[in-house]
């Protein structure tokens, strides 16, 4: 391990000597012997250094990640549509006079949700409302559990929703239907 570290340090020092000190020593030698080539060589080294710095800057800029769109009140509808497109949701415009915008998004599983921005008190928020209806097989599975296990599932769901600052209603047993806001 120490050997690899020493080799990398040695290689780094060698590159510094070749790239930085060798041209500097050459120009110093030319100046010492008062050659007429001192000034042109110095200008050439400076120009190549400037070009190298420019090329390194261009390479560094090309490696930067793309600029992300920052959601604002003016572009939130486009951000919501982009977000829904990433999930391959079917989007249908569902206008309402109480909303700046509202869309009905349908997921591949058939679950639909309303996404929109309300006018009035909550105009700075985007509302996502989803109605979750369990299938008959899921209800049968839950009914087969003991009362303690059912309560544990409900508490776990409520805990996860609270951790994500998500509102809900109708989350109780039997879980015929509940809403996530």
Exposed, middle or buried: residue 80 (CB in 10 Å: 0-12, 13-18, 19+)?
buried
Considering the domain boundaries, does residue 109 fall inside one? yes
Pairing of strands 168-169, 127-132: unpaired
Domain of residue 88: give its range.
76-180
Looking at the structure of the chain, the number of domains it has is 2
Q: How far is CA 24 from CA 17, 31, 43, 53, 149, in A?
A: 10, 11, 12, 17, 78
166/108 Cα distance (integer angstroms): 22
Considering the domain boundaries, does residue 106 fall inside one? yes
- Nearest to 91, CA basis, from 118, 99, 132, 83: 83
CA dihedral 91, 92, 93, 94 (to 10 degrees): -120
Considering the domain boundaries, does residue 31 fall inside one? yes
- Nearest to 83, CA basis, from 109, 124, 113: 113
Q: What is the pLDDT of residue 7?
A: 82
Q: Which of 12, 37, 62 is the last residue of a domain?
A: 62
Considering the domain boundaries, does residue 150 fall inside one? yes
Q: How many helices (H) and strands (E) does the chain have?
A: 6, 6
Considering the domain boundaries, does residue 71 fall inside one? no
- The whole-number mean pLDDT for each consecutive block of 10 residues of the chain, a chain of 181 residues, reads 79 74 82 87 85 86 85 85 86 86 86 86 81 76 82 80 71 63 62
Q: What is the CATH number of the domain that holds 131?
A: 3.30.1460.10
41/30 Cα distance (integer angstroms): 9
Q: Which of 62, 90, 111 is the last residue of a domain?
A: 62
Q: What is the pLDDT of residue 25?
A: 79
Question: Tokens 């008190």 sit at which residue?
Answer: 121
Q: What is the pLDDT of residue 88?
A: 85
The separation between the first and the last C-alpha atoms of the chain, rounded to the nearest angstrom, is: 56
Q: Are residues 93 and 155 in the same domain?
A: yes
Considering the domain boundaries, does residue 70 fall inside one? no
CB within 8 Å of 27: residues ≥ 6 apart: 38, 41, 42, 45
Q: Which of 39, 62, 85 is the last residue of a domain?
A: 62
pLDDT digits (tens, 9 = 90+) for 60-86: 888 888 888 888 888 888 888 888 888
Identify the helix (H) or strand (E) that includes residue 45. Answer: helix 38-62
């Amino acid at each position: 391990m120490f050997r690899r570290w020493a080799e990398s340090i040695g290689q780094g020092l060698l590159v510094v000597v070749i790239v930085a000190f060798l041209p500097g020593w050459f120009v110093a030698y030319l100046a010492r012997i008062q050659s007429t080539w001192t000034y042109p060589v110095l200008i050439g080294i400076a120009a190549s250094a400037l070009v190298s710095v420019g090329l390194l800057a261009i390479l560094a800029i090309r490696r930067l990640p793309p600029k992300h769109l920052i959601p604002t009140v003016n572009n939130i509808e486009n951000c919501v549509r982009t977000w829904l497109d990433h999930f391959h949701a079917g989007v249908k415009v569902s206008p309402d006079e109480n909303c700046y915008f509202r869309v009905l998004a349908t997921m591949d599983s058939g679950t639909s949700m309303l996404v929109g921005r309300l006018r009035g008190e909550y105009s700075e928020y985007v509302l996502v409302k989803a109605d979750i209806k369990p299938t008959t097989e899921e209800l049968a599975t839950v009914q087969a559990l003991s009362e303690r296990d059912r309560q544990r599932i409900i508490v776990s769901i409520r805990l996860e929703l609270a951790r994500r600052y998500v509102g809900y209603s109708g989350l109780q047993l039997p879980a015929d239907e509940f809403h996530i806001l």
